[in-house]
Amino acid sequence: MMILMDSLSTHTDYGTVPLSAGDLDPDPIAQFARWLGEADAGGFAEPNAMVLGTIDDDGMPSSRTVLLRRVRAEGLEFFTNYDSRKGRALAGHPVATAVFPWYGQQRQVIVTGSVTRLDAESSDAYFASRPRDSQIASAASRQSQPIESRELLEQRIEELALAYPEGTAVPRPANWGGFLLSPIRIEFWKGRSSRVHDRFVYDRHAEGWGITRLQP
């Protein structure tokens, strides 16, 4: 067996700043919004980037990075092509997990729950708010499908740009829109020295949210 690379020996000491139950908001969505705001204020690139995990029709997991676009009391909103791999996965298995890796602040959040499509009005409103070039790119791309060359994709984009010149509204494609991830479980992780990390998980119950400390 040829070993191409051994495990990396890099070790980061995450320090001694603790996370205790008293630091947490009783509402995990409010706590998440607080940490997201602090990640944004910390100057991290794409603090709203999340690794979205779904289940394909064959039962295999798949993951990719998408951008969180809105946080509301009911959960987290993101947008995509419904015919993409993740869109098809969510149609067949409407559950997902989202990981937010803010390691520059020794923090991580994992959100798990059910996923539903947003209504057409919400998707229309968000699509209309996007830059025109992003609108055209979304309309041109058959996301997750094979293509012979980048030049062919760029040709489609040019054709749509001519079809919808500056000042003309680009209609939202029927197969593009939003999803809402409604959490049933949210875990907050804070890195500590010697890998003795602080972990707290919120679980949704009929009477509200419960909080439990987990071992690292």
Annotated binding-site ranges for substrate: 69, 126, 130, 134, 195-197
Separation CA 117–CA 94 (nearest Å) = 9
Q: How far is CA 128 from the centre of its chain?
A: 21
Q: Give the distance, in angstroms, between the CA of residue 189 and the centroid of all CA atoms in the same chain.
A: 17
Q: How far apart are CA 142 and CA 123, in angstroms?
A: 18
CA–CA distance, 45 with 96 (Å, rounded to integer): 24
Catalytic residue among 185, 195, 204, 213: 195
Q: 185 an active-site residue?
A: no
Determine the straight-line distance between the first and last CA of the chain, rounded to whole angstroms.
33
In terms of C-beta density within 10 A (0-12 exposed, 13-18 middle, 19 or more buried), how is residue 195 classed? exposed
Q: How far is CA 32 from the centre of its chain?
A: 13
Query: Two tokens at 100?
Result: 């937010």
Residue pair 60/155 in contact by the 8 Å Cβ criterion: no
**Helix ranges restricted to H, the chain:** 28-41, 85-92, 120-129, 132-140, 150-163
Catalytic residues: 195
